[in-house]
């Protein structure tokens, strides 16, 4: 349950908004991290551990006493039972309908800004990857040209059957990720080529062996001599240091690659640059 949905269900009995307003040094969460605490539960997290337990206790004391807003300065050292060494300021205030509306707006904005991941191929590995990505802050879509392939897709992952999957690739947002693992080598090659030629993908991955990559590279160089787009290809996906080829293992390793590419510092800098360009346009 999202914090907004939890708050909507808890407003009548009362709840407290717990938010990190400032984080200095090493801390378990960043400024802006938010948790909702009611008498019987909580949603969201400010980092877990003793910091979170302590804040939940304080929030429930506030609920019992009807106390006003508080701003608490907490060093994360031995007295708190944590060894982070940093320091946080935590704001606590009784939740209102206005907070609920703000949370809903924040969650909608965050959902709209999630990086897009298009998974081409709803076979065993594609479906395992969809299940893995369902837990992560990305907007994943599973695409296949065959009917009846989407029985095991998680609710939070979109899916679509397309006679020509390349139409979804062409419509994707700049800065998207494309993971190609269809039932057809020829289709894999076509999709990977189109994704690379876009020039704006943060990740282009194709399942396969070193031999498959070599064949694809040879074909690509014949068709596009002098192009530097091949440097953006990840194949095999998930790296080569783990030799377990079970779909769930490949999915876990590929998810880690995607997190680094889409949520790492380089991706954040690119997104900020893109946003500045959009604002100036």
Q: What is the CATH number of the domain that holds 272?
A: 3.40.50.720
Contacts 24+ apart (CB under 8 A), 27-34: 27/76, 27/84, 27/86, 27/87, 27/88, 28/76, 28/82, 28/84, 34/3, 34/103
Sheet holding 15-24, edge to edge: 42-44, 34-38, 15-24, 87-94, 70-75
pTM of the model: 0.84
Same domain assignment for residues 194 and 150? yes
Among 89, 111, 133, identify where a domain stops: 111
> Residue 268: its pLDDT value, please?
53
Angle among Cα 258, 260, 262 to the nearest 5 degrees reads 60
Q: What is the number of domains present in the chain?
A: 2
176 & 60 share domain? no
Segments in the chain below pLDDT 50: 272-281
**Is residue 170 located within the same domain as residue 127?**
yes
Its domain, for residue 24, covers 3-111
pLDDT for 73: 94
Domain boundary among 82, 111, 140: 111
pLDDT at 4: 95
Whether residues 165 and 266 share a domain: the answer is yes
Beta strand pairing call for 70-75 and 87-94? antiparallel
Closest C-alpha to 181, from 223, 120, 262, 139: 120
**CA–CA separation, 127 and 273 (whole Å):** 33
86 and 135 share one domain: no
Considering the domain architecture, whether residues 74 and 148 belong to the same structural domain is answered as no
Confidence at residue 85, expressed as pLDDT on a 0 to 100 scale:
79
Longest dimension (CA), the chain: 74
**pLDDT at site 51:** 92
Read out DSSP for 7-45?
Answer: HHHHTTT-EEEEEEEEEESS-SS-TT-EEEEESS-EEE-
Q: So what's the pLDDT on residue 39? A: 95
pLDDT at 163: 96
Residues 62 and 140 in one domain: no
Q: Which of 60, 88, 111 corresponds to the end of one domain?
A: 111
126 shares its domain with 163: yes
- What is the bridge-based pairing of β-strands 203-206 and 177-180? parallel
Note the pLDDT of residue 271.
Answer: 52
């Amino acid at each position: 349950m999202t914090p907004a949905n939890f708050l909507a269900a808890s407003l009548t009995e009362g709840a407290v908004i717990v938010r990190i307003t400032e984080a200095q040094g090493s801390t378990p969460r960043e400024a802006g991290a938010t948790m909702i605490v009611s008498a019987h539960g909580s949603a969201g997290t400010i980092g877990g551990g003793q910091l979170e337990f302590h804040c939940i206790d304080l929030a429930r004391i506030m609920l019992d006493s009807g106390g006003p807003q508080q701003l608490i300065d907490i060093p994360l050292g031995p007295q708190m039972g944590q060894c982070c060494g940093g320091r946080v300021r935590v704001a606590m205030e009784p939740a209102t309908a206005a907070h609920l509306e703000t949370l809903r707006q924040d969650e909608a904005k965050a959902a709209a800004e999630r990086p897009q991941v298009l998974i081409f191929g709803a076979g065993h590995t594609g479906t395992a990857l969809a299940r893995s990505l369902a837990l992560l802050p990305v907007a994943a879509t599973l695409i296949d040209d065959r009917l009846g392939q989407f029985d095991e897709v998680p609710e939070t992952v979109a899916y679509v059957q397309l006679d020509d999957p390349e139409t979804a690739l062409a419509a994707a947002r700049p800065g998207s990720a494309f993971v190609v693992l269809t039932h057809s080598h020829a289709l894999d090659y076509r999709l990977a080529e189109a994704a690379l030629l876009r020039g704006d993908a943060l990740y282009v991955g194709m399942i396969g062996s070193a031999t498959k990559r070599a064949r694809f590279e040879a074909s690509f160089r014949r068709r596009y001599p002098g192009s530097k787009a091949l440097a953006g290809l990840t194949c095999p996906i998930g790296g080569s240091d783990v030799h377990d080829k079970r779909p769930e293992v490949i999915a876990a390793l590929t998810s880690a690659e995607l997190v680094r590419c889409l949520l790492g510092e380089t991706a954040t800098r690119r997104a900020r640059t893109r946003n500045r360009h959009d604002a100036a346009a």
